[in-house]
Chain A
Amino acid sequence: AQRVTQPEKLLSVFKGAPVELKCNYSYSGSPELFWYVQYSRQRLQLLLRHISRESIKGFTADLNKGETSFHLKKPFAQEEDSAMYYCALREGGTSYGKLTFGQGTILTVHP
């Protein structure tokens, strides 16, 4: 069965420091990975898709199939990055389109 693991429930960094939010997955097929962000009491917003290979708000994420990881990185964290971040996997095959989330990581960026 598919599984998404975010090992850190909480992550604190200081403004200007690099940040990395970890995400590992388990899936037998070809995965499609996403990062979603949720600012305080707001709706989830799509941050990144691995197939787009884009950088949004300074964040990047690379799919590493060998390590089954999709870590989210930013070289210089900002206070406005403080939020809940969810890694998600979208399935193919018979469960095409099903989106499974990790437990989430709360990022706090201190001034």
Chain B
Amino acid sequence: DARVTQTPRHKVTEMGQEVTMRCQPILGHNTVFWYRQTMMQGLELLAYFRNRAPLDDSGMPKDRFSAEMPDATLATLKIQPSEPRDSAVYFCASGLQGQGKNYGYTFGSGTRLTVV
């Protein structure tokens, strides 16, 4: 059963520190998403990529957040500097779109970030 792998599972950091979250999408998937989950806001889309190119990052605070796909097997989400309000669970999801293929997306287990 193919899975989306996210690391680390948990991260506690001090305010002002840099945080990097990683995601390994399912092999062959061409679309990758980053979501942030909080009790107040639910699931917010931060950014998404198709064939490693960013398609939409309008949900991401640009001054401190950045998302990249250095290669097809790795997506990263960085926060620098981190703030307590960034505390949330960050989910990565991947899927296969286009060429007549249109499936649901598979989610990773998430990274639970706490900024103190």
Contact = CB atoms under 8 A, between A and B. Distances in A.
Interface of A: 32, 34, 36, 42-46, 49, 86, 95-104
Contacts, number: 48
B94 to A, nearest CB: 11
16 contacts: A34-B104, A42-B109, A44-B93, A45-B107, A46-B106, A49-B104, A86-B43, A97-B31, A97-B98, A98-B55, A98-B56, A99-B105, A100-B45, A101-B35, A101-B45, A104-B42
Q: How large is the interface on B (under 10, 10 to 19, 20 to 34, 35 or more residues)?
A: 20 to 34
Given A86-B43, A104-B43, 14 more contacts: A43-B91, A43-B107, A44-B93, A44-B107, A86-B42, A95-B55, A97-B31, A97-B55, A97-B95, A98-B48, A101-B42, A101-B43, A102-B42, A104-B42
A69 to B, nearest CB: 19
A46 B93 CA distance: 11
